[in-house]
Structure 1
Amino acid sequence: MSIQWYPGHMTSARKKAAETLAMADVVVEVLDARLPAASSNPMIHELRAFRQRPCLKLLNKADVADPVATKAWLDFYSQQPGVKAVAISCKKASDVARIPSLAQQLAPHRNDAVKPLRLMIMGIPNVGKSTLMNALVKKKVAAVGDMPAVTKSQQRIDVSSRLTLYDTPGMLWPKIEHPLDGMMLAASHAVGVNAYHELEVGTWLAGFLLEQYPELLKGRYGLTTEGMDAVGVIEAVAKKRGCILKGRGGELDLEKASQLLLTDYRTGTLGRISLETPQLREDRLKQTFEPPVSNAIDKD
């Protein structure tokens, strides 16, 4: 699935970000710990590379990600020059409190009131940037919502005489080329719902969970997953949760079942899940992706 979801404000946001980056010392890139590479906008790398700015990568939502996969990503990023990575939850005050000092290590020359540390907070939609901003400033300065692209304009906040923050809107790139990246971003609610079919994404997620986390499916829905395929998982969830189309003779509502599965993943109700690891991503990029095909997901 090739995602094309690029609201108009993102074009102006990119231009403004490029201008502001000239004044920033460190890029703080907020990623979704469940899909760090897929949730990293390549334009952010291009902008900071042009300005030669170091990057603090925050693997947010680490509390709902697979800790083994997160450790692999931290090891992966630790090998990149000018990059420091840390796993956090923006909802934990103790995690957020560490961020200024971690960023300071990347710009040791900006350490007093004469030369305050200037951080530029960047990332794609719905990865937790607004929650992070509010926690850093210790008051509500950014709108928070469970929908992509809540923040639409850039703002500067002087936290203290030693720390300045630049908050930027969540920015995707114009076209997400790799289909699996599109699936992961859609599953994680980083793009608007009008850009994808929930049944297609839910079916992909079901197949991934069958392969990587079958025990979590069993634990959440009481399924017997042996011999089951992805569409079978969606059908089983529909039966377990009573997803029936009204006036259709007991026909299963697979769309609703997909929504339930996606919500359980997004909220962490299913358990701690990561959709990619460095090795899995490397393997996927070598493959040709075919979306799940079944009469059960034919919308016509």
Structure 2
Amino acid sequence: DARIPASSKNPELNRLAGNKPVLTLLAKSSLADPAASERWKKHFADEGRTCLFVDSTTGYGINSIAPAVREVMAEKLKRYESKGMTGKNLRVMIAGIPNVGKSSLINRLSGGKHAKVEDRPGVTRDKQWINTGIGLELLDTPGVLWPKFEDQTVGENLAVTGAIRGEILDTERIAVILCGRLRDRYPELISARYRLGDVSQLAGWEIFGLVGRKRGFLISGGEIDTERTAVMLLDEFRGGKIGRITLEEPDAISGKNPDETGNGEGSADA
């Protein structure tokens, strides 16, 4: 997920991939801060990793995927050619966290509605091979989270962006955390969206309360309807209505081993 490139990398994927070539896709890039995305591009380039920022909704970067796959699989293609196996489809597994847009990506690449898509985690249940017609055969897999988040921030970021099922979360707490993150990174965006004024000295829960009052989400006695406020805040963040937002920077993971901390590049690995 381009909004949380470190937190959305499943640390198990590198181990499971073994020596197979990997292409990292940063999905939902139209929702991410373009300036932050440029910093992440440089970070991955400095590490020698092949990555693309893409968006299945707008189509951004989609046409670059097939050439990039062929580039990372160049050695295998040479072996095919030496055996006279030209024109063979490349088989690629799409893997990543829940609700990051793997099925939407496959539908974009294949030009049809082959994979079921909904804006919630856990929709894809089974593995399925899909022929794109552009020389790639894609294996759609269910989104998977790893058993334990070593860093609490990783779990919070995954919850805020919608990778964890809402039924198992304290929605109000997650929305308050989001308010704190936006105060720290994008105070002007949350202030402008909800007409809050200066929020720099406010706690997350205070911002949350102000948002509820500004929207008129009140119950008897003038108290804030916290559930309604939380659902609205998270929906508007996830839909890009607050603005283009990235919740973490490459500098924050400098010196850490992504496979130990749960941090690293994000989204779908080919």
- How does 1:76-155 map onto structure 2 within 5 Å? 76-81=43-48, 83-93=49-59, 95-108=61-74, 109-110=76-77, 113=86, 115-155=88-128
CA distance in 1, matches of 2:214, 2:60: 39
Deviations 1:8-47 (A, max 9, x none): xxxxxxxxxxxxxxxxxxxxxxxx1000111111111111
What amino acid sits opposite 2:30 in the alignment? Answer: D
Identity %: 36
- Gapped regions of structure 1 (runs ≥ 5): 1-31, 286-300
Deviations 1:181-214 (A, max 9, x none): 1111000000111222111111111011111111
- After TM superposition, the structure 1 = structure 2 runs for residues 1-300 of structure 1, keeping only pairs within 5 Å, are 32-48=1-17, 50=18, 52-81=19-48, 83-93=49-59, 95-108=61-74, 109-110=76-77, 113=86, 115-160=88-133, 162-224=135-197, 225-245=199-219, 248-282=220-254
* Residue pair 1:59, 1:87 contacting (<8 A) in 2 also: yes
Asked if structure 2 preserves the Cα contact closer than 8 Å seen for 1:113 and 1:161, the reply is: no
Deviations along 1:239-260, whole A, 9 cap, x unmatched? 0111112xx3111112221222
For residues 284 and 274 of structure 1, do their structure 2 counterparts lie closer, same or farther at Cα, with a shift above 3 Å needed? farther
- When residues 219 and 251 of structure 1 are mapped into structure 2, their CA distance, relative to the original with a 3 A threshold, is same
CA distance in 1 between counterparts of 2:249 and 2:150 reads 19
Residue identity matched to 1:193: G
Runs (4 or more) in structure 1 with deviation over 6 Å come to: none
Change (3 A) 1:222 1:183: same
Deviation at 1:78, TM superposition (A): 1.8
8 Å CA contact 1:122, 1:168 repeated in 2: yes
Aligned residue pairs, count: 249
Q: CA deviation at 1:217?
A: 1.2
- Mapped partners of 2:90, 2:183: distance in 1: 46
Q: Which runs of 5+ in 2 are unaligned?
A: 258-270
